[in-house]
């Protein structure tokens, strides 16, 4: 339930935040800078967050991360200048990095090894199904605008819709607090089992995170600007963009669920890498700005990467000792944030001169490298 609500809340920002920035008079470059700022926060806070998670426990860390993130995203909607936007986004990035770092160790600790592929798939599916809020988000500004007597593309309409998303993120904390009170005995038993896994050397742990660097590069090049791609390249209305993104997020969940159910008991390393390799040529279909090709590329990427995310997360947590999971998860977040931040910044500038085609090609290459990294660095 936490994942559903959290996904529902952040979906509002996936669809509307870039539109909100444009309506406030900021350029596309600002969206790229803010995306980079959040990832930079992940880089700086990432490793300390892992130590913090291992010290206080993943559930408590997750609560702190979610509450802090929701509070900062609310504040972000009322700051007037680029400088304050950057500062607020940085702090929000620190909190969401903590939440992301805590999630995988929490799931791993709370479930026995045989059930983890399915549980990780269910979690990814829950987040993605929550992101059907993209549909709601696409329509909500036009619903709220008459109440405040503004145009549906006015900054106030977007701000009110985004505040609804913030409220949902706050509510997402409640299921975590319930689990804290009910699962400690199960956690202790699972952790005792997993402490038998040998402690890994730092270089091995770094190797596990390399795939996250490349997948962050692939995602950061396109996903922060996906709304603009569908609007500018295909001429879609805001509410139609919301529907497309929502379907894509649901397909991430379907892919994760099916992979956890059918591939989780097979060769995790093989399938986690293979799904990313298959993603690359399908995603490249977005280079053809015709609706059928674009939808095949977008939806295909969503389905295949959803499955790969679930399998790779289980694989990585399986390879490390319980006392190292927070650190490994944080390092994966750091590498992902680095890849996302660099590519998102460059993408915002490249778009103005060359359009989306070279960026989509770059993303496809990054997905290939990510799949190969899984195969190479997880040979244990």
Q: What is the pLDDT of residues 313-339, one digit of tens each?
A: 888 888 887 778 888 888 888 888 789
- Give pLDDT, residue 283: 97
Dihedral pair phi/psi, residue 149, rounded to 5°: 60, 50
d(CA 179, CA 91) in angstroms, rounded, equals 27
Gap between the Cα atoms of 288 and 41, Å rounded:
34
Q: How many residues does the chain have?
A: 380
Of the candidates 14, 42, 94, 98, the one whose C-alpha atom is nearest the C-alpha of residue 339 is 42
Query: 12: which residues sit within 8 A by CB, 6+ positions away?
Result: 133, 136, 137, 140, 161, 162, 164, 165, 168
Task: Take residue 227 and report the two structure tokens written for it.
Answer: 């709304």
Place of tokens 């304050």: 84
- Please name which of 367, 351, 336 lies closest in space to residue 32, comparing C-alpha atoms: 351
**Amino acid 369: pLDDT:** 97
Give the integer Cα–Cα distance in Å for 72 and 278. Answer: 37
> Over the stretch 120-177, which tens digit does the pLDDT of each residue have?
887 777 666 555 677 787 788 888 888 888 887 888 888 899 999 899 999 988 887 7
Q: How far apart, in Å, do the first and last CA atoms of the chain sit? A: 34
Confidence label for 1 from pLDDT (cuts 50, 70 and 90) = low
Give the per-residue pLDDT at 117: 78
Q: Give pLDDT tens digits for 190-244.
A: 555 555 566 667 788 888 899 999 999 999 999 988 988 999 899 998 888 888 9
pLDDT beyond 80 at 286: yes
The pLDDT mean for the chain works out to 84
pLDDT surpasses 50 at 181: no
pLDDT of residue 183: 46
Residue 82 belongs to domain with CATH number: 1.20.1250.20
- What global pTM score does this model have? 0.72
Structural domain of 29: 2-377
- 8-59 pLDDT, tens digit per residue, is 888 788 778 888 888 888 877 788 788 778 878 877 887 898 889 888 888 8
11-15, 66-70, 91-95, 212-216: segment of lowest average pLDDT: 11-15
Q: Where are the alpha helices (DSSP H) in the chain?
A: 2-23, 28-56, 58-76, 82-110, 116-130, 133-148, 155-171, 173-180, 184-194, 202-222, 226-232, 238-258, 268-283, 291-319, 325-354, 357-377
pLDDT of residue 140: 86
Helix axes 28-56, 325-354, angle to 10 degrees: 180
Indicate the number of domains in the chain.
Answer: 1
């Amino acid at each position: 339930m936490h994942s559903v609500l959290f996904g529902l809340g952040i979906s509002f920002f996936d669809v509307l935040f870039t539109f909100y920035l444009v309506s406030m008079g900021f350029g596309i470059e600002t969206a790229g800078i803010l995306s980079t700022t959040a990832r930079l926060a992940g880089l700086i806070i990432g490793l300390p967050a892992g130590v913090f998670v291992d010290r206080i426990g993943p559930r408590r860390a997750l609560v702190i991360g979610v509450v802090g993130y929701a509070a900062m995203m609310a504040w972000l909607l009322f700051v007037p200048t680029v400088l304050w936007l950057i500062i607020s986004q940085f702090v929000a990035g620190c909190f969401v990095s903590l939440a992301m770092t805590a999630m995988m160790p929490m799931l791993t600790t709370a479930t026995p090894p045989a059930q983890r592929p399915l549980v990780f798939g269910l979690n990814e599916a829950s987040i993605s199904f929550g992101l059907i809020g993209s549909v709601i988000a696409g329509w909500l500004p036009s619903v709220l605008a008459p109440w405040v007597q503004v145009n549906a593309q006015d900054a106030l309409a977007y701000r009110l819709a985004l505040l609804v998303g913030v409220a949902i993120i706050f509510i997402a904390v409640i299921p975590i607090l319930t689990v804290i009170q009910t699962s400690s005995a199960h956690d202790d038993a699972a952790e005792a089992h997993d402490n038998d896994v040998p402690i890994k050397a730092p270089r091995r742990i770094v190797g596990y995170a390399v795939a996250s660097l490349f997948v962050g590069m692939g995602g950061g090049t396109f996903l922060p600007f996906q709304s603009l791609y569908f609007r500018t390249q295909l001429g879609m209305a805001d509410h139609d963009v919301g529907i497309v993104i929502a379907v894509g997020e649901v397909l991430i969940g379907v892919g994760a669920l099916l992979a956890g159910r059918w591939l989780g008991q097979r060769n995790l390393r093989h399938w986690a890498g293979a799904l990313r390799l298959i993603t690359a040529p399908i995603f490249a279909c977005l280079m053809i700005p015709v609706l059928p090709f674009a939808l095949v590329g977008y939806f295909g990427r969503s389905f295949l990467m959803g499955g790969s995310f679930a399998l790779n997360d289980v694989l990585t947590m399986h390879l490390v000792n319980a006392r190292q999971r927070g650190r490994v998860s944080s390092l994966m977040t750091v590498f992902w944030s680095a890849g996302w931040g660099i590519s998102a910044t460059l993408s915002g500038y490249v778009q103005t001169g060359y359009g989306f085609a070279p960026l989509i090609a770059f993303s496809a290459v990054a997905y290939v490298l990510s799949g190969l990294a899984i195969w190479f660095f997880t040979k244990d």
